[in-house]
C-alpha cells in the first residue's frame, strides 16, 4: 500500500537535545512538507522540499533543520535552538505540480521533559 510513514509516534526529549523525526513516502511524490500543529493554531509550515537535494524554509523554520537526500525521505531535526518544541508534527507529500491534495502521515507527538 502506498502512503507516508512517520516514526516514532511518540517522542520524548530532554532539554538541550537534538531529535530527528522520520518521514518516508512511497507515493513517488516530488514535494514533501513538514507542519507543526499546536492547539488552536492550525498547521504551520516548517520546511518544504519540491525536489531532491533542495528545500526551503517555511513560516516557522527557526530551530529546525531538514535534508532531502532521497526522494522518499524527508527527515526533520528539532534542534536545541527550538525554544518550545513540544507539539504535534505532521509530514505530508504531494505530486508537487498542479493543484493536488496532500497526503499525510500519522504524525509524531514530541514532548520535552
Partner 1 sequence: AQKITQTQPGMFVQEKEAVTLDCTYDTSDPSYGLFWYKQPSSGEMIFLIYQGSYDQQNATEGRYSLNFQKARKSANLVISASQLGDSAMYFCAMSLSGGSYIPTFGRGTSLIVHP
Sites of contact with partner 1 (CB under 8 A): 31, 33, 35, 40-43, 45, 48, 50, 58, 88, 90, 92, 94, 96-107, 109
Nearest distance from residue 38's CB to partner 1, in Å? 10
C-beta of 33 vs 64, nearer to partner 1? 33
Cα-only R_g, the chain: 13
Nearest distance from residue 16's CB to partner 1, in Å? 27
**Pairing between strand 108-112 and 10-13?**
parallel
CB atoms inside a 10 Å sphere around CB 108: 22
Q: Evaluate whether 23 touches 105 at the Cβ level (below 8 Å).
A: yes
What whole-number distance in Å separates Cα of residue 112 and Cα of residue 35? 18
C-beta of 63 vs 96, nearer to partner 1? 96
Nearest distance from residue 79's CB to partner 1, in Å? 23
Amino acid at each position: 500500500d502506498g502512503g507516508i510513514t512517520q516514526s516514532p509516534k511518540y517522542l520524548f526529549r530532554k532539554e538541550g537535545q537534538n531529535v530527528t523525526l522520520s518521514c518516508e513516502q512511497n507515493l513517488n511524490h516530488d514535494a514533501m512538507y513538514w507542519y507543526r500543529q499546536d492547539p488552536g493554531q492550525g498547521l504551520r509550515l516548517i520546511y518544504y522540499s519540491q525536489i531532491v537535494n533542495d528545500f526551503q524554509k517555511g513560516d516557522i523554520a527557526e530551530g529546525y533543520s531538514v535534508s532531502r537526500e532521497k526522494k522518499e525521505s524527508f527527515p526533520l531535526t528539532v534542534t536545541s535552538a527550538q525554544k518550545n518544541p513540544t507539539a504535534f508534527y505532521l509530514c505530508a507529500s504531494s505530486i508537487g505540480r498542479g493543484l493536488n491534495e496532500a497526503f499525510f502521515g500519522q504524525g509524531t507527538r514530541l514532548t520535552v521533559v
